[in-house]
């Protein structure tokens, strides 16, 4: 699985337009093959910060996403709405199929 996290600082006067753009982008992206989740969130400490969290089945699905018409439109409109640098991070996640031991149990407890 691939996880992408983004932080988008918004211009206060463009916030409403940015939220509409984000809603359109999320709706179109969720319909893509390989998209597990795609959501924008408003920052609690700064309501002019938009955070993006997305999960993809694999890197191929994410690469196809970058070629879509709605991604092209999003990237074309976004620069007029932001107030600074956009930060994105991408993570590759693997699932672990084996059981993880309970580390809270102390094999040699000390009684006080």
Domain boundaries, the chain: 2-92
Q: Give the C-alpha distances (Å, rounded to integers) separating 34 from 15, 56, 57, 65, 76.
A: 29, 6, 5, 9, 24
Which tokens belong to 69? 């018409």
Residue 109 has pLDDT above 50, yes or no: no
For domain 2-92, the question of CATH label 3.40.50.10420 is answered with: no
Cβ within 8 Å of residue 50, ≥6 positions away: 7, 8, 9, 10, 18, 19, 22, 40, 41, 42, 43
Question: In the prediction, which pLDDT does 96 show?
Answer: 72
pTM (whole model) above 0.85:
no
For 54-63, the pLDDT digits (tens) are: 999 999 999 9
Q: What is the mean pLDDT of residues 43-52?
A: 95
Which tokens belong to 45? 């400490």
Question: What stretches of the chain adopt beta strand conformation (E)?
Answer: 2-9, 35-42, 49-56, 87-92
Between CA 31 and CA 41 the distance in angstroms is 19
């Amino acid at each position: 699985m691939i996880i992408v996290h983004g932080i988008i600082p918004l211009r206060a006067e463009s916030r409403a337009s940015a939220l509409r753009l984000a809603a359109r982008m999320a709706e179109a992206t969720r319909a893509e093959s390989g998209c597990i989740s795609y959501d924008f969130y408003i920052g609690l400490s700064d309501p002019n910060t938009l955070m993006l969290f997305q999960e993809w089945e694999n890197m191929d699905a994410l690469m196809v996403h970058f070629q879509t018409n709605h991604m092209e439109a999003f990237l074309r409109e976004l620069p007029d709405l932001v107030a600074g640098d956009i930060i994105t991070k991408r993570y590759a996640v693997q699932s672990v199929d084996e059981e993880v031991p309970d580390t809270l149990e102390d094999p040699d407890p000390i009684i006080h």
